[in-house]
Amino acid sequence: MEKRNARRTREIVVPGDVLADASDYRAGENAYELDGKIRANVMGTKTFTDNTVGVTAMGGFYMPVTGDTVIGIINDVGPSNWMLDINAPYPAPLHVSEVPWKVEFGDTGRFLTVGDVVLLKVLMVDESKKIQVTMKDSGLRKIEGGQLVEIEHSKISRVIGKSGSMIQMLKNMSDCRIFVGQNGRIWIDGDEENTEVVAEAIRIIEAESRSANLTDRVREFIEKKLPQSEEDDEEDFE
């Protein structure tokens, strides 16, 4: 995402609110122009980016974007594809040619079945919002074990934090493997107690996503819950 300008007070806007004059700014994300005024499309906070003004939405559905990594749950198995729920308004088909295995026609059920959870990448979204997902990329696989936490997709950026600060802190302190899907699903795997603590920490991040110094407060929370853990500088990437 582009670098945002110097901080201004975060004003709450609702659909139809005037954000700025069209002569001063251009309409950005979730904004439109009408009669020389930029107006909001959704409820959220007013956000300035260079010479555009837009709205950071506070809710709504996850809309898949090409290249997003998401966590999907298998809904249905067909002879040559699987149907997945990725928390979007539309179901996402995963074709046999997009999995890392050689699958015979009609043999799909042996590899993935209803209820399985998989890491995916959004391969393509066309103009009629038909989604295609793939598992053919490094690190994409079927998930076994661990815990799945679901939060609002708009809060995902807070879970990752500024250049990954929050997620890195969570990983280092808990010694868990964490995978964050852009669609609001988070998979945590590790020691049972630690997993619980991380899940709880993520709930805190979701509930207090708009407050300051969240990383510090989450760190305190984990230190209290897991006194033996300490943040080491060891980088453990997925």
DSSP state of 165: H
- How far apart CA 205 and CA 145 sit, in angstroms, is 23
Shortest gap between Cβ of 52 and other proteins (angstroms)? Answer: 17
Q: What angle separates helix 165-174 from helix 214-225, to the nearest 10 degrees?
A: 10
Q: Is residue 14 part of the contact set for other proteins (CB under 8 A)?
A: yes
Q: Is residue 211 part of the contact set for other proteins (CB under 8 A)?
A: yes
Query: CA dist 188 to 15, 149, 167, 177, 192, Å?
Result: 36, 8, 11, 6, 10
Alpha helices per DSSP H over 28-144? none
46 SS3 class: strand
Question: Are 201 and 218 a contacting pair, CB within 8 Å?
Answer: yes
Nearer to other proteins, 36 or 145 (CB): 36
Shortest gap between Cβ of 211 and other proteins (angstroms)? Answer: 4
Q: Is residue 81 part of the contact set for other proteins (CB under 8 A)?
A: no
Q: Is residue 162 part of the contact set for other proteins (CB under 8 A)?
A: yes
| Binding range to other proteins, per CB under 8 A, among 30-38, 115-123, 131-139, 194-202 | 30-38
Q: Is residue 22 part of the contact set for other proteins (CB under 8 A)?
A: no
Residue 163's φ and ψ, nearest 5 degrees, are: 40, 45
Site string for other proteins, 127-146 (x = CB under 8 A): xxx-----------------
Q: Which residues of the shown chain bind other proteins in the complex (CB under 8 A)?
A: 7, 10, 12, 14-17, 30, 32, 34-35, 39, 41-44, 57-61, 89-91, 127-129, 157-158, 161-162, 208-215
